[in-house]
Amino acid sequence: MFEAIDIMLTEAKKSLDILKAEYQRNLAAHEVSITLRNNVRRLLGDLRDPLDHIYQLIPGVSVSEAFPVSNSAAQFTHQTANLAPNIIAVIRQFQSFDDGNVWLERFSALSNIHKHLELVPQVRIETPSLTLSGGRASMSIIGSASMSIGRNCRISLGGVPIASGQTLSAHSPTILAGPELRVRREIWVNFLFDPQNEHLVRKLGLNTSIAVLPFLEESLNKVEEIVTRLKPIIETLIAPTVVP
């Protein structure tokens, strides 16, 4: 009964592995290739299909119905009125109107856009960080943040003195401090779904920044969790009644 869904999830995992390799190639090349965009679009569709299929196996649900994504408790109650209470309980836990759970709402918006072949462009962002360590103490400055040290100030980090009269930031070319100070610079890089895309703005509102790879990994885990939790309930519901 669940063989097709299991195959879909297996294929989605393979697609995610392929996408990760392409993702890293694009990060290294400072580009967003058509191949990467197509892989993202395909994976979103591959992940939406198991949700709809598992939902359509529930007694009382037609083969044309999609997994419910509700904007309010009232809408959810209407959508699931004919379902068993234990099915409703599982599905409700993933709805966005409860407890600020935004994943399903975002997943639905992105997968619907891609299913209708309106490709969402990704943009590349870089977030620099500076980490200073001395002794057992450390501090990090990320992005555009900075810390200015006055000329008459004396500070130390883990017993290591840091010179006064300088500004510390991820963009500082040099850090004046004792030789024991350890300095690590990193650039956190990711691709985002374009937060200004008109379709996402209409669905999710302005300035919704969603990092592509972490979101796809989360989506695979969430879809797999939903399927795993619904399977035994569906099996119980459709099991033949034994008459003594």
pLDDT of 77 strictly over 90: yes
Token pair for 119: 């490709």
Predicted pLDDT at 25: 86
Residue 225, helix vs strand vs coil: helix
pLDDT number for residue 138: 87
CA angle 13, 88, 101 (to 5 degrees): 60
In this structure, which amino acid lies at residue 107? Answer: F
* Rounded Cα gap, residues 106 and 112, in angstroms: 10
| pLDDT, tens digit (0-9, with 9 covering 90-100), for 98-135 | 766 889 988 988 887 755 433 444 566 667 788 888 88
Which residue carries 């374009």 as its tokens?
A: 194
Q: What pTM did the predictor assign?
A: 0.70
Mean pLDDT of all residues belonging to the chain: 85
pLDDT band at 194 (very low <50, low <70, confident <90, very high): confident
CA-based R_g, the chain, Å: 25
Q: Which residues contact 170 (CB under 8 A, 6 or more apart)?
A: 128, 129, 130, 141, 142, 143, 144, 145, 185
Domain coordinates of the chain in residue numbers? 3-121+194-238, 125-189
- Amino acid 75: pLDDT: 94
Q: Write down the pLDDT at residue 19.
A: 92
Bin 241: left if φ > 0, else alpha if -120 < ψ < 50, else beta.
beta
Question: Which secondary-structure segment (H or E) carries 141?
Answer: strand 137-142
